[in-house]
Structure 1
């Protein structure tokens, strides 16, 4: 039987919830949050991001295979079908290769092999049976803040210990990137703790580009502090939403921002503030989770 998966996109009556990506956006730069969650400005996906979506699909489907068939050759064979499904489900991503010769697309697909090799250097999937993959998790805090996110993989030991696994298709980051990744993983750990009453034993980030991983063990006291951090972020989002005062916070990450030309910190002018129609924290997308 395939591991349980969760999918809730498009469900009617879904309450606005805070996702790890949007919370991280506001923490990094309130104006970036506004551009993404309020203005909903489009962002052009990169080939690396789209490849990340494909690789996440491959690693999810790998565990549909019988354990003995979870080998690198079978994983590589899943890449092309996964790309075809991504193209069919998200035509806007397929447009990344409009007008490109077939050889360029083929070379891009082959570049996934290095990431697959990086994955198999980190673990042997024949020895694992995850409880869940691409799992939608949500929990309401006592303050009323609703948290929602997607966990790449959830491993549960026979003793009940929980491990949260997140695939990163980039290389292991420096300090800023590592901090962002741990923020995301603590978010998942908090939601799972509130859902199950068990603090995850391990948060594991697997960096496939260079075959490295980062393991972290949270504790209750840390997650309580993190809970207060998320509540403070949500309160700040609501205050900014009422006033329209989403201020830029320039940093080295601005070099990678699609909206730099609209940022006052760089001489730009944001579009007129459209108002705050509802306290919507902004949903997380597949591109948010494709590294």
Structure 2
């Protein structure tokens, strides 16, 4: 028996993915979080999920048995498990009657897994956590959550957060954007455990690069301010129903172009109650200014 879909509700937490959605395009955030529109499976994203599953399962084996041949051999079985948990993925290769495209796709997953062995040595790693779900509530009430690919702890107690990427490393000018997710996780770990991770590490299997960053408290405080500013913008958009599209070159990959006003579409009827501008102004008038910056919208970088 299929469970009934959950009724629309205001956002209650923030993850790195959804924060990035809002920064990329507020209307995309609305489609995914408020309207809960389904996303079409893609070969690239699904391959990423498959590779992550293989690298997670490899650590089930004793250290000496964590070899490249063993990892490659895990790919077909993990693909079968993924299909069983998400039958809709069969759509990806529905027209591949001869199986050639699927075979090539699986071979590429195997190549990505094998490349990992040139970047890290799993025989010398003993992760304390894999695919670790983390969640914390800040003093403001903002709830943060996410899933960390791997957490290592050195004998000295230092924490390293590791994330696998199946794409290529970004150009230097985009490095800060790439690190946002990792700083998000570092903030959650800091607020949960009271420990600032010693190192954040992004492993890019598509290009064979490793990006590292050693955060300090000031970094995490800046991220916290940025997230509060984002959450305030999300709260305002939720109340008003004003989710403005932000056209970029990424629009070409969006699943929801036919619903976007920028491309002549019409979004679904907004499913949440809207607070009228007059009501918000009345409430603000009753509360009065709350500081020197009252009435000035916060910028996403927290400044």
TM-score interval for Structure 1 and Structure 2 normalised by the shorter chain: 0.7 to 0.9
Alpha-carbon distance between aligned partners in 2 of 1:194 and 1:235, rounded to the nearest angstrom: 20
| Conserved? CA contact 2:72–2:114, under 8 Å | no
Structure 1 position 124 matched with structure 2 position 156: no
Larger of the two Rg values belongs to structure:
2
> Which shows bigger deviation, 234-243 or 145-154?
234-243
**Does residue 42 of the first structure (1) align with residue 38 of the second (2)?**
yes
Q: Displaced runs of 4+ in structure 1, greater than 6 A?
A: none
In the other structure, the counterpart of 1:231 is 228
Q: Which has the higher contact order (CA 8 A, sep 6+)?
A: 1
Match for residue 205 of structure 2? 208
Query: Which of 101, 107, 110 matches 1:110?
Result: 107
Show structure 2 runs of 5+ residues with no match.
1-5, 275-303
- How many Å separate the matches in 2 of 1:181 and 1:90? 28
Q: Distance in 2 between matches of 1:24 and 1:114?
A: 29
Query: Of 213, 219, 222, which aligns to 1:222?
Result: 219
C-alpha change, 1:266 and 1:43, in structure 2 (3 Å) is same
Shift of 1:175: 5.5
Which stretch of the first structure deviates more once superposed, 164-173 or 106-115?
106-115
Q: Note if contact 1:114-1:209 (Cα within 8 Å) is conserved in structure 2.
A: no
In the aligned structure 1, how far is the partner of 2:55 from the partner of 2:125?
A: 12
User: Which structure 2 residues correspond to residues 1-291 of structure 1 after superposition, within 5 A?
Assistant: 16-100=12-96, 101-174=98-171, 178-275=175-272
Relative to 1, partners in 2 of residues 1:261 and 1:178: Cα closer, same or farther, differing over 3 Å? farther
Query: 2:198–2:215: 8 Å Cα contact kept in structure 1?
Result: yes
Equivalent residue number for residue 301 of structure 2: none
8 A Cα contact 1:19 1:149, kept in partner: yes
Instruction: Say how many residue pairs are matched.
Output: 264
Deviates more, 1:40-49 or 1:74-83: 40-49
Mean Cα deviation higher: 43-52 or 266-275? 266-275
